[in-house]
């Protein structure tokens, strides 16, 4: 079994998954890094599972629409020492994998990476992204589109919190950091160019809807416990 398992949650991702898998495989090859690629099909009604299998990935099925549960299902199927969780619309670069490998060799407990989008159309979008990346680095918080961890540490903290429908990567980052800190194994945000995700939610939702979601989670930090309040991550046009 390779040292790394890459886990990709996927719900109706036939449009994005081929590019994600091809870019991932090319980057792994460029870094001479072997990995077990696991696509967790989250009750898709399109060709997601067939595309994943055709690209050589292992396919695991998880029917419950709860991202923490989907990520944990992939981790349960993995047998590698390290886990990397990547969103199905995220392109992982060789630079990110090389930085991750260096962090693994240095003995970290896990980490994340700066993020970017395939397009940004306004100043507020650019400012918002810069604000997140700054906050992420300062507070050691990973974005869910790219987060890695020692498999033993993932198991020790009980994985992603399945009490949450959204924002589970924030608590995950904090719990891993608390676990590793006494042993000198910090949770870290990699010093590398951003991994790139699609800006599709900017097409799906209007600016006022983005602002509404931000205000909801700022004023009510426990909103992620409720699927109705986490609609932004579960509603598609």
**Domain CATH number, residue 20:** 3.90.550.10
User: Would residue 236 count as lying in a domain?
Assistant: no
Domain residues for the domain of 186 are 4-199
**178 has a pLDDT exceeding 90:** yes
Decide if 158 is inside a domain.
yes
What does the pLDDT read at residue 123? 83
- According to the model, what pLDDT value does residue 117 have? 93
At residue 1, the pLDDT reads 79
Look at the chain and report how many structural domains it folds into.
1
Residue 14 lies in a domain: yes
Q: How many Cβ atoms are within 10 Å of 135's Cβ, its own excluded?
A: 10
Measure the CA–CA gap between 7 and 18, rounded to whole angstroms: 15
Which three-class secondary structure string do you get for 155-167?
Answer: HHCCCCCCCCCCC
Q: Which ranges constitute the DSSP H helices of 140-206? A: 151-156, 168-180, 200-204
Interval 138-158: pLDDT, tens:
999 999 999 999 999 999 999
The C-alpha atoms of residue 9 and residue 169 are separated, in whole angstroms, by 14
Asked whether 115 and 141 are in contact (CB, 8 A), the reply is no
């Amino acid at each position: 079994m390779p040292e790394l398992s890459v886990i990709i949650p996927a719900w109706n991702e036939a449009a994005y998954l081929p590019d994600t898998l091809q870019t991932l495989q090319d980057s792994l090859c460029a870094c001479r890094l072997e990995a077990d690629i696991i696509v967790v099909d989250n009750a898709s009604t399109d060709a997601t599972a067939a595309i994943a299998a055709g690209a050589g990935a292992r396919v695991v099925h998880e029917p419950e629409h709860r991202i923490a549960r989907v990520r944990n299902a992939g981790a349960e199927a993995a047998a590698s020492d390290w886990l990397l969780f990547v969103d199905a619309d995220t392109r992982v670069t060789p630079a990110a994998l090389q930085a991750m490998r260096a962090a693994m060799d240095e003995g970290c407990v896990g980490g994340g990476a700066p993020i970017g989008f395939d397009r940004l159309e306004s100043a507020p979008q650019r400012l918002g992204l810069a604000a997140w990346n700054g906050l992420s680095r300062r507070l050691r918080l990973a974005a869910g589109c790219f987060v890695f961890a020692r498999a033993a540490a993932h198991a020790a903290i009980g994985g992603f919190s399945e009490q949450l429908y959204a924002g589970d990567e924030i608590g995950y980052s904090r719990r891993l950091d608390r676990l590793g800190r006494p042993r000198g194994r910090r949770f870290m945000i990699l010093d590398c160019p951003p991994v790139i995700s699609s800006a599709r939610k900017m097409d799906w939702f209007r600016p006022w809807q983005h602002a509404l979601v931000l205000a909801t989670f700022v004023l009510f930090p426990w909103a992620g416990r409720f699927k109705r309040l986490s609609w932004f991550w579960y509603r598609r046009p």
